[in-house]
């Protein structure tokens, strides 16, 4: 006995010839909600070390734009490199009859990769920190607090798009997704990821930063985020349908597992290395 799939239209609003999709709104909503949450954290002096928050409100407004670029560019390139490199070999398509676009920019062909987006944001944060003389680890800790918000919105958008669905399963909350050519009851794995990577991870980081002073140990919140995400992703990969165009990996491993395993190790190492570290001074630029 499966649950009925809600079958929500992926297009939220149609403005003439321009469709506004829930997937696009998820990115916008995640960035907006994350920005709002970070402004609240900057005002809470008790969760930071003796030198306060690592960035001013004015610089936060500046870096959000570059974070959005890092998420989009890194996420798209990560998908192409990790999941579908054949896109790079495809012939260039003409747009509007005369404008050729690289296949990697064809957003309608394929999707986005979290791991690529994480790399993009990391590079953006590092160079922004160098330019403004900020502590890159403390800046990363700040964004780690809000990242689960964006993950939650993104996974809900995956569910609305009926993509990245789970393995066949005839359980009490299984669903038949309209995009599934086999029309089999499956795990709604997008909702599992939204619950673990989004809601649960946000709560864990919130408790760690507000009750255990994690933001006073530069790098620790980053470690908790990437380790928590990696553990959640590895777990849910057991219920998520593997990408059909990827080769079979040994021992039942998936690409998501293989990309997440190094993240889990890195996250645990970051937490371990800061366990006895004194609160370091945060370099703070003037607004």
Which pLDDT score, from 0 to 100, does residue 245 have? 67
pLDDT tier for residue 188 given thresholds of 50, 70 and 90:
very high
Tokens linked to 76: 């798209």
Domain ranges of the chain: 20-273
Model's pTM, two decimal places?
0.84
**131 — phi, psi (to 5°)?**
-65, -40
Exposed, middle or buried: residue 121 (CB in 10 Å: 0-12, 13-18, 19+)? buried
pLDDT tens-digit map of 59-97? 999 999 988 888 887 777 766 676 665 555 554 444 434
- How far apart (Å, rounded) are the C-alpha atoms in residues 136 and 164? 33
pLDDT for residue 149 is more than 50: yes
The DSSP H or E segment spanning 39 is helix 22-43
pLDDT mean over 216-232: 96
Which pLDDT score, from 0 to 100, does residue 89 have? 52
pLDDT for residue 58 is more than 80: yes
DSSP 185-209: EE--HHHHHIIIIIIIHHHHHHHHH
Which pLDDT score, from 0 to 100, does residue 278 have? 54
pLDDT tier for residue 23 given thresholds of 50, 70 and 90:
confident
pLDDT tier for residue 259 given thresholds of 50, 70 and 90:
confident
Which pLDDT score, from 0 to 100, does residue 132 have? 93
pLDDT tier for residue 131 given thresholds of 50, 70 and 90:
very high
Answer yes or no: are the C-beta atoms of 186 and 168 closer than 8 Å: yes
Which pLDDT score, from 0 to 100, does residue 7 have? 85
pLDDT for residue 26 is more than 60: yes
């Amino acid at each position: 006995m499966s649950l009925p799939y809600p079958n929500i239209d992926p297009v939220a609003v149609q403005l003439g010839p321009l469709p506004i999709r829930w997937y696009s709104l998820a990115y916008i909503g995640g960035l907006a909600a994350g920005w709002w949450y970070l402004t609240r954290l900057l005002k809470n002096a008790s969760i930071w070390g003796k030198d306060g928050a690592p960035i001013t409100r004015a610089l936060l407004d500046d870096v959000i734009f570059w974070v959005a670029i890092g998420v989009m560019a890194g996420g798209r390139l990560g998908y192409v490199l990790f999941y579908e490199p054949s896109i790079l070999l495809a012939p260039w398509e003409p747009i509007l009859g005369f404008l050729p676009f690289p296949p990697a920019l064809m957003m309608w062909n394929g999707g986005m990769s979290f791991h690529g987006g994480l790399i993009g944001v990391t590079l953006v944060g590092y160079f922004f920190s160098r330019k403004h003389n900020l502590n890159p680890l403390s800046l990363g800790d700040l964004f780690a607090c809000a990242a689960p918000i964006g993950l939650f919105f993104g996974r809900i958008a995956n569910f609305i798009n009926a993509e990245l669905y789970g393995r066949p399963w005839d359980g009490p909350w299984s669903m038949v997704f309209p995009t599934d050519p086999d029309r089999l009851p499956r795990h709604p794995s997008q909702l599992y990821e939204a619950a673990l990577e989004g809601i649960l991870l946000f709560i864990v980081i919130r408790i760690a930063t507000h009750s255990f002073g994690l933001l006073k140990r530069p790098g620790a919140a980053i470690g908790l985020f990437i380790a928590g995400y990696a553990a959640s992703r590895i777990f849910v990969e057991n219920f998520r349908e593997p990408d059909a165009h990827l080769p079979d990996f040994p021992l039942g491993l998936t690409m998501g597992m293989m990309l997440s395993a190094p993240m889990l190790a890195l996250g645990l190492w970051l937490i371990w290395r800061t366990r006895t570290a004194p609160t370091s001074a945060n370099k703070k630029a003037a607004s």
